[in-house]
Amino acid sequence: MTSTQDNIQKAADLLWEAGRSGTPCDPVRGLLAEGDLDGAYAVQEINTKRGLDMGRRLVGRKIGLTSKAVQTQLGVDQPDYGMLFADMAMAEGEDIALSAIMQPKVEAEIAFVLAADLDSEQLTLADLTQAVDYAVAAIEVVGSRVAKWDIRILDTIADNASSGLYVLGSEPRGLGEFDPRLCGMVMEKGGEPVSVGAGAACLGNPLTAALWLAKVMARVGRSLRAGDTILSGALGPMVAAAPGDVFEARVNGLGSVRASFGKE
């Protein structure tokens, strides 16, 4: 089954207004045909174009649903993706205003920055590794424009893969300097561990997730370009963020990265 164009537009309008007003909306999955992932991505694309028309700049992509357990929970067998805009990038030490992100949660990831375009659907892992300039530790601040995080797969895809903001670490490493699959991760809040994991939690290897993304982006006409950032997916469980929280994630071989939230 496919969703009607009218309902796709309605879903896009609801999510756009929620983001604009700061008031979460009801789930949009009821507007889309059951299992219509393409319809959900069409919703996302409408709001991507709106952002671009407003002057926002695409600087990369994020990958979600890289955990097999979460895929099973949501009844899917593949990850999803969302757009990264320049205004989503936060610097370490810069307080993140709670008003800037709806219902924030954080997760630690590996980010890859590209040195070359990836514009073929027939990419190999060799093509990808050759195109990666460097990797850094990252914290993604996810958020949902859907009230109470009442989401299923169609909701999160339509909502730009529940994107929010992100912070990149400042210790870039080449792919030969660390092991993306075996590297461990610990994220702490106030010095106490709140999330642990490893590269293997991300589709078995974060590079596998990045390769999936690159192929899909080429197929849908939004190929990854030199300079783009790929947030490759969570290495451990998400953690809710509250005013004044400071999170620090350490990834073996990539150093650490901090995300700080303002007290209001």
User: What integer pLDDT is reported at residue 71 of this predicted model?
Assistant: 72
Q: What pLDDT digit, counting tens, does each position of 3-13 carry?
A: 999 999 999 99
Is the pLDDT at 75 greater than 80, yes or no? no
Q: Is the pLDDT assigned to residue 98 strictly greater than 80?
A: yes
Entry pTM: 0.95
Residue 260: the pLDDT is 96
Average pLDDT of span 178-183: 96
The pLDDT of residue 78 is: 81
pLDDT at 220 over 90: yes
Where in the chain are the domains?
A: 57-261
CA-atom Rg of the chain in angstroms: 17
For 57-261, CATH number out of 3.30.70.960, 3.30.9.30, 3.90.850.10, 3.40.630.10 equals 3.90.850.10
Question: How confident is the model at residue 77, as a pLDDT?
Answer: 76
Closest CA to 75 of 141, 8, 151: 151
Q: What is the DSSP letter of 175?
A: G
Q: What pLDDT does 73 receive?
A: 65
Q: Average the pLDDT over 155-159 and give the result.
A: 96
Count other Cβ atoms within 10 Å, centred on residue 121.
Answer: 12
Q: What is the tens place of the pLDDT at every residue in 10-53?
A: 999 999 999 999 999 999 999 999 999 999 999 999 999 999 99
* CA atoms of 150 and 217, how far apart (whole Å): 27
Q: What is the pLDDT of residue 126?
A: 97
Which pLDDT band, with edges at 50, 70 and 90, does 231 fall under?
A: very high
pLDDT of residue 18: 97
Residue 17: its H or E element: helix 5-21
Q: What is the mean pLDDT of residues 66-89?
A: 85
First to last CA, the chain: 45
